Amino acid sequence: MIVALLLLIPFITALALMFLRPTQQAKNVALISTLASLGVVLFAWSAYTGGTVIHYNMDWVPAWGLRFVMGYDGVGLLMLILTAVVFPFIIAAGYGEKLQHPSLVNALLLFTQTFLFGVFLAQNTLLFYIFYELSLIPVFFFLLYWGGEHRRAITVKFFIYTLLGGLSLLFGIIYCLGQGAGFNGDFATIGALNFPLSTQIWLFWVLFLAFAIKLPIFPFHSWQPDTYAMAPLQGTMVLGAVMLKMGLYGIIKIVLPIVPQGVIHWQETVIVLALIGAIYGGIIAFRQSDLKRLIAFSSLSHVGLLCAGLFAWNSYGVSGSLYQAFAHALLVVCMLYISGAMKERVGSSEMGAMGGLKLRTPRLAALFLLVLVNAVALPLTQSFVGEWLMFAGLWQVNGWLAFAAVSTIVLGAIYMLFAYQRVMLGPDKWALEMTDATTRDHLVLVPLIAVTLFLGVYPGPILDLVDVPVQQLLSSLSLN
Amino acid sequence: MRTDLLAILVPVLPLVGAIILASLRRKLSANVAGGLATALIASSFVASVVLFMGFDASTGGRTVHMLDWINVGGMNIPLALRIDALSLTMMLIVTGIGSLIHLYSIGYMHEDERAPTFFAQLNLFSFAMLMLVMGSNFLITFIGWEGVGLCSYLLIGFWYKTPEYNYAARKAFVMNRIGDVGMVLGMVLLFQRFGTLEYVSIMDMATGGMNDPLMIAATLFLFIGATGKSAQLPLFTWLPDAMAGPTPVSALIHAATMVTAGIFLIVRSSVLFELAPFTKDIILWVGTATALIAASVGLFQNDIKKVLAYSTVSQLGYMFVALGMGAYSAAMFHVTTHAFFKALLFLGAGSVIHALGGEQDIRKMGGLKGRVSLTLTPPSIRMDGPVKITYITFFIGTIAISGLPLMSSFFSKDLIMAYGFQHSPVLFGLLLFGALLTTFYMFRLLFLVFYGTYRGKAHPHESPLTMTIPLMVLAVLSVVGGLLNLPHLFGGHEPMKHFLETAADAIRYEHLGLSATTEWILMGITTVLVFATIAMAYGRFAKRATLEGAEADMPFFKRLIAQRWRLDEFYAALFERPYGWISTHLFTTVERHVMVPVMNGVGAAALAMGGVVRKLQTGNTSFHLLAMLCGMIVFLLITLMSN
């Protein structure tokens, strides 16, 4: 029932929006739909008692032996919660955007949500792949028709790049299926493939490439800054908050079980690349003049750390990475919302056109500051818990890697405080008339900040969710 | 239990104040906000006093568990408080001095339209500082550690319309964060080694060989953290710039409490440092170098607050020297007396600035004491200066920091210097030299501000009672503070040392092995030289109507010192500007001209391949893909419906 609801609520709402085109009510309808999905996920969470919950397990295309298996474990549930929590806010962010054809925009967003739910519910490799690629379609159209300058070129670039990764993944999956994984590549059984090390060494990259691009990891990132900067605000939110988490999830669900020795073989290489990206993104972010592009590079930096933590492959690293995935989703939505709110008032997200805005918008400045506190991962915010666990995990791998990872806390402070100063502080040099934070701004930012702080003080609910699955994952890894 | 509840209330009360004031900042008047903030921190002080009174030192202390915080995969870090001699000492300083400075701020900030915000941030700072000193494990201390850093950032940049202030605030935060890298790595390493971050457990478990490489690394990392927060070489240059904040902030955060966090941290983990003599030696010499360099810069500063800022850096250096010699209780003693007299001096400076309508340049002050005449019948002192209370208290602060006999610093600084003599006479010589520099620049300051003739244009007036009462209380404390740890030489029993050793085992092994005669001689030498220095300063500055010329006219070495050893310029050239250059060029060169073209090449290759395939398929790739996926959706729906 939960699975059906999660797939059908956004899907049917999206279809209705697409065909009925209720221009005036589109945003409200979409908002209600996402809130309903959130309710369903929270219900699933409250009813969850551990283990893998399978809701559907049936024949799909019997002639080919395709099966339709859907459910979730703790990690999947975390991703479902993440998706369900951020989408209402992404829809709400649309109230400030004056995009053409709001029905279509919201329909595309809800299609995306459907497929994202599908990715996190799928219990076999093939279904995962199908939803994984499906989720790209609505985003593609959203970027192509509602993006900013150079949208065509950038969107095509983004599409080809991710599609290439996807094809590589598809090839890898087909290879595995041919090697006896069964036609579905059930998550429960793909761990038993036991490829020889020589195979695992190349197969790792075939499978990992898609996720490395999706996250993205240095040096596969170069589609990301342009795309984030060009995409409509809500598009960037979807990409940054949720879609990249598919990469993280895919690594855990597909790469690790199939090629565990390949993962160990390439572990340090991936961590080094990820940390290069974390430092690279953090340094570049400092001198960016466009707030949205700054957020893109900051996200690159954060994601590098996420991936490094994950590849530590110990309980602190993986739990921390998953915890941080949630924190990062909320952070990205908050940051982008603020950049949108500033753009609404100033007319551009260039920080050169801002400065001294705290005088005009003191409440917005206070909200920005609270988001900033989370962005630089001060303790008692959600990000700190995740970062601390990842640092502890990375130290177990190698002290120097931990040192590189920890140094990003300095880079984060440098670019975030500089950005805050350029937007909010200093003399009121432009003397623009503008409204302070509106009710809508408060309705979006205050709950997100509240969740951020609550989970910073009391991370138990989320950590408990991932603790057991992560332990199981790691013990199965050592069995191999 | 009741004491547990009381302990929790101590940090929670100012936190509640911060939340209330921040939410109602637009509705409250400055006085109401100030009153509320002061009442809450004063309540914390009362609670601390009650805890202190009811505390039985022989038990060692108790841990108050509030909440499981980070609890995953074998890591269990609770939100818990530790009540013992060390945390109680710090709690009394933080809430006690904090209350006085909150009260002072009511008068100092009453005309500022953002006063409620100011008090919210001051209360938030108190909360963070209390978490720092009360935490039962490293990570709780780190909550406070970063919290005070945030508040420091906010309060340095409180007057946010001035770009230089914002820069100073950022500089403070970033330099602290550089130290925090060390702190985080130290904590990670300790967790790796001990499987816990609880102070009590780690100190119990930490035994074994001296100079174990792991212990050296852990203690060095913690010390790096301490150099950031406590403004030691090479990370001290943020503190003088931090004077951009309102003066009460300088007194509370950048003199009395936050900057002593590094000393507190090392005393808290003294057992670890005792196992790493190598680290202690480094601390000793970093402290000495900082003490001397900062004191030398203090000689030439013309901003009243900058003089005090360099003085703070220098005094913190003395505390680190004590730590480096393993004299932990001596360091804590000096933390305490320094909190009294440096808060007094800063608040006094604030009162002067207030009296002169914002003037901070001592070249435009002078003569503020007015004429002082003694009459014998009846015996009384008559003064006609405009700022009598400010003058008297500032005078007391000056003689206290200079260590005139029986003043608080006379006991605390001399104790460090006596340990220094025990360590090596050379060290004693250096510390004595630093002490004389301190005396010289402090009396230079006193004479230039209060003596001679007035060189400014404002109409000085005394500050209101809310400001002068804290001055008077702190003046009394600066005089009698030495009693807290009165040495045997003066008939005392070093009560503070014996109190603190119940919380930090390493203090039990502190021993000053000098004979009474040696101590008297050292004290005598110091005192004679201090008086000689005062006389020298009097001769040069007390009657001055004008001051020496610009820096450009100074000889090279003097100019170098006056320009703060050019450390700021050095850091800017070595780190700041290259970092900006790298940031720009990584983007414009590497990202734009390497990463993107390479990726485009991959894309072009893919398109070319697509072109080949297209001839076979005569179709549009993305259309095919879309069609395929739509088909799958239909399958999916059918399956779902049929269930």
**pLDDT tens digits for range B141-162:** 999 999 999 999 999 999 998 8
* A220 and A276 belong to one structural domain: no
Cross-chain residue pair A373–B191, CB shorter than 8 Å: no
pLDDT value of residue A480:
47
- Same domain, yes or no, for A223 and A301? no
The pLDDT confidence band at residue A58, using thresholds 50, 70 and 90, is: confident
Number of domains in chain A: 2
Which region among A113-122, A183-192, B400-409 has the lowest average model confidence (pLDDT)?
A: A183-192
Q: Worst-scoring range by mean pLDDT, A351-355, B44-48, B80-84?
A: A351-355
Of the residues A200, A234, A258, the one at which a domain ends: A258
CB B421 within 8 A of CB B522: yes
Q: Structure tokens of A225?
A: 């800054």
CA–CA gap between residue B9 and residue B134 (Å, rounded): 12
Same domain for A380 and A325, yes or no, is yes
Q: Are B82 and B503 in contact (CB under 8 A)?
A: no
Do A424 and A324 lie in a common domain?
yes
Whether A182 and A302 share a structural domain: no
**Residue range B22-27: mean pLDDT, rounded:** 90
Query: pLDDT of B603-615, one tens digit each?
Result: 677 667 766 655 5
As a whole number, mean pLDDT of residues B166-181 equals 94
3-state secondary structure of B235: coil
Q: Which helix (H) or strand (E) holds A358?
A: none
Indicate whether A468 pLDDT > 50.
yes
Residue of B117, B156, B175, B184 for testing the chain A interface, max A β-carbons within 10 Å: B184
Domain boundaries defined on chain B: 2-568, 569-642
- Please report, in angstroms and rounded to a whole number, the separation of the first and last CA atoms in chain A: 35
- Facing residue for A60 by CB, picked from B67, B591, B635: B635
pLDDT for residue A346 is more than 70: yes
Note whether A125 and A198 are same-domain residues.
yes
Q: Are residues A252 and A347 in the same domain?
A: no
Question: What percentage of chain B carries pLDDT values higher than 90?
Answer: 53
Mutate: best of B15, B70, B588, partner A, most A CBs <10 A: B70
Question: Which one has a higher pLDDT value, B495 or B319?
Answer: B319
Which residues span the domain enclosing A391? 259-480
Could you give the ipTM of this predicted complex? 0.93
Average the pLDDT over A399-417 and give the result.
94
Compute, in degrees rounded to 10, the torsion defined by CA atoms A114, A120, A121, A125: 110
Residue of A nearest to B635 (CA): A60
Q: Does A428 touch chain B (CB under 8 A)?
A: yes
Residue A343 sits in the same domain as residue A386: yes
What sign results for the dihedral spanned by CA atoms B4, B8, B10, B16?
negative
Counting one residue from A and one from B, how many pairs have CB atoms under 8 Å apart?
A: 175
**In the listed set A235, A258, A281, which residue is the last one of a domain according to the structure?**
A258
Inspect the interface and report whether the beta carbons of B632 and A159 lie closer than 8 Å: no
Residues A102 and A248 placed together within one structural domain of the fold: yes
Q: Do B163 and A426 touch (CB under 8 A)?
A: yes
Chain A nearest C-alpha distance from B75 (Å): 8
Query: Which residue of A117, A388, A389, A428 to mutate against B (max B Cβ within 10 Å)?
Result: A388
For residue B583, what is the nearest residue in chain A, using CA coordinates?
A284
Instruction: Indicate the pairing of strand A66-72 with strand B62-72.
Output: unpaired
Is A271 found in the same domain as A368?
A: yes
**Lowest pLDDT segment from A289-293, B433-437, B637-641:** B637-641
Mean pLDDT of A339-364: 89
**Domain shared by A232 and A265, yes or no:** no
Q: Do B73 and A413 touch (CB under 8 A)?
A: no
Q: How far is A196 from chain B (nearest CA, A)?
A: 30
B-contacting residues in A 362-381 (Cβ below 8 Å) = 366, 373, 378-380
Name, in order, each residue with C-beta under 8 angstroms of B427's C-beta and a sequence gap of 6 or more: B284, B288, B321, B420, B421
Judge: A391–B178 Cβ closer than 8 Å, yes or no: no
B80 strand-pairing partners: B65
Average pLDDT over chain A, rounded to an integer: 90
- A339 pLDDT band, cuts 50/70/90, is very high
Residue A322 predicted with pLDDT over 60? yes
A150: left (phi over 0), alpha (psi -120 to 50) or beta: left
Q: Do B161 and A134 touch (CB under 8 A)?
A: no
Is the pLDDT reported for residue A62 higher than 80?
no
A406 shares contact with chain B (CB less than 8 Å) = yes
Cβ distance A223 to B74 less than 8 Å, yes or no, reads no
Considering only CA atoms, which of B354, B355, B348 is closest in space to residue B470? B348
Give the lowest-confidence range in A19-33, A449-463, B278-292: A19-33
Gap from A34 CA to chain B (nearest CA, Å): 20
Is the model's pLDDT at A383 over the cut of 90?
yes
More confident site: A54 or A15: A15
Residues 120-149 of A with CB under 8 A from B: 130, 133-134, 137, 140
Helix (H, G, I), strand (E, B) or coil at A424: helix
If you measure CA to CA, which chain B residue comes closest to A454?
A: B69
Q: Are A373 and B150 in contact (CB under 8 A)?
A: yes
Q: Between A56, A221, A388, which is nearest B70 by CB? A: A388
Whether A236 and A275 map to the same domain: the answer is: no
Q: How many CA atoms lie within 13 A of B295 on its CB side?
A: 25
By Cβ distance, the residue of B139, B586, B639 closest to A58 is B639
How confident is the model over B198-234, as pLDDT tens digits? 999 998 888 777 778 889 999 999 999 999 999 998 8
Which of A226, A258, A290 terminates a domain? The answer is A258
